[in-house]
A and B are shown apart, each in its own frame.
Chain A
Amino acid sequence: DGGITQSPKYLFRKEGQNVTLSCEQNLNHDAMYWYRQDPGQGLRLIYYSQIVNDFQKGDIAEGYSVSREKKESFPLTVTSAQKNPTAFYLCASSPWLKGAYEQYFGPGTRLTVT
């Protein structure tokens, strides 16, 4: 099956710990994105990547880091510097960046930090 996988579905961490969220796609898409969603809110862009070994900050990058070593993978690390990390995190990919095609989303990871 083609698609985007995110793991784990639920993640619990103690305050002060870094945590890495996984995102893998087998759609052969060039671009990948990370969004944060808070209850009753829309999505806010954290980071995006157009090609391997390149990524750009989105609207709320502070306290987060990413890497793009492979086309298929775009992991997100939530660092201890992120003040309010508890949220629903969504990863997405799209097939052609400049064509602005639709984005395909993974099922999300719900992170709870206590």
Chain B
Amino acid sequence: SQQGEEDPQALSIQEGENATMNCSYKTSINNLQWYRQNSGRGLVHLILIRSNEREKHSGRLRVTLDTSKKSSSLLITASRAADTASYFCATHAGGTSYGKLTFGQGTILTVHP
């Protein structure tokens, strides 16, 4: 089952603008991760935020997590054409779910030069 639901499904912006993607999930989580996928390629891990964290930064990336609303957002600041890709959130439920991740359907980001 797909736990993460992402919004918007597609986002088109100009270079230099900020891009915000949202992810909602249904059940309790241990952590939430964001991945990037260039067209026809494998996924690349971007950032992990644990359930007891509210915000995390990595370079131009900022992730927030609101466990009360079961939602997360990924902000990419000062976007570049090279940021064009699909972005997926993935949740880990913890407990006996071991390393299993449940992925959302992704947001397609297009950054125009």
Which of B11-19, B36-44, B63-71, B73-81 lies at the binding interface? B36-44
Is B103 a contact of A100 with CB atoms below 8 Å? no
B103: which A residues are within 8 A, CB to CB? 35, 42-44
Helix, strand, loop or mixed for chain B's interface?
loop
| Nearest CB of chain A from residue B68's CB, rounded to whole Å | 21
Q: At the interface, yes or no: A74 with Cβ under 8 Å from chain B?
A: no
Which of A11-19, A63-71, A75-83, A103-111 has 4 or more CB atoms under 8 Å from chain B?
A103-111
Residue of B30, B31, B101 with most chain A CB atoms under a 10 A cut-off:
B101
Q: Are B104 and A31 in contact (CB under 8 A)?
A: no
Q: What number of residue pairs across chains A and B have CB atoms under 8 A from each other?
A: 67
- Provide the residues of chain B in CB contact with A84, threshold 8 Å: none
Q: How far is the CB of B47 from chain A (nearest CB, A)?
A: 9
In the complex, which of the residues A42, A50, A107 contacts B98, with contact meaning CB atoms closer than 8 Å?
A50
What is the minimal beta-carbon distance from B67 to any residue of chain A, in angstroms?
16
B27: chain A residues at CB < 8 Å are: none
Instruction: State in angstroms the CA–CA spacing of A44 and B104 once bound together.
Output: 9
**A108 with B94: CB separation less than 8 A:** no
CA distance A107 to B40 in the complex (A): 8
A97 touches B104 (CB 8 A): no
Q: Residue A34 at the B interface, CB < 8 A? A: no
Evaluate contact between A42 and B2: CB separation under 8 angstroms. yes
Judge if B57 is at the interface, Cβ distance under 8 Å: no
Q: How far is the CB of B6 from chain A (nearest CB, A)?
A: 8
Kindly list 14 other residue pairs between chains A and B, CB separation below 8 angstroms, not including A31-B99, A103-B45. A33-B99, A41-B106, A42-B4, A42-B104, A43-B103, A45-B101, A45-B102, A50-B98, A59-B1, A97-B98, A100-B99, A101-B99, A106-B42, A108-B42
